[in-house]
Amino acid sequence: MEVEATVTKVCPYCKEEIKVDAVKCKHCGEFIYKDSCQIVEQSTKSYVGTLILCAFLGSLGIHRFYVGKIGTGILMLITFGGFGIWALIDFIIVACCHFKDKKGRDIKP
């Protein structure tokens, strides 16, 4: 079962994520103008699921198949996660909430 994607925007002043309908940033207090923000859509894929798959099956690239990155998933499968180095880097990226799905949407908790 997939969850509906969450849409947020990025404050142009402090670069923190805020609600899409916010008029004032809750982090820095600056007023937000309609055309000054970048809209960010959050992935429907589970952060915890991606992290667990990466931790236990990362060298096989299963987490990449899960988020829709089939091509790099196959490459990881063939090279055993870049001999473990690629899998370790992916784990760090997922843990730091900077991993993206196939459509470029952030996978966050």
Domain span holding position 34: 7-41
Q: Would 104 be classed as within a structural domain?
A: no
Q: Would 26 be classed as within a structural domain?
A: yes
The residues pairing with 24 across neighbouring beta strands, listed in sequence order, are 31
The model's pTM is: 0.71
CA distances to 10, 11, 18, 65, 81 from 48, in Å: 23, 26, 22, 15, 20
**Domains of the chain: total:** 2
Q: pLDDT digit string (tens) for 27-46?
A: 998 888 766 666 667 889 99
- Per-residue pLDDT for 3 more than 60? no
**One domain, residues 35 and 53:** no
Tokens at residue 60, please? Answer: 């096989």
Tokens at residue 101, please? Answer: 């799905």
Count CB-CB contacts under 10 A for residue 67.
24
Q: pLDDT digit string (tens) for 66-93?
A: 999 999 999 999 999 999 999 999 999 9
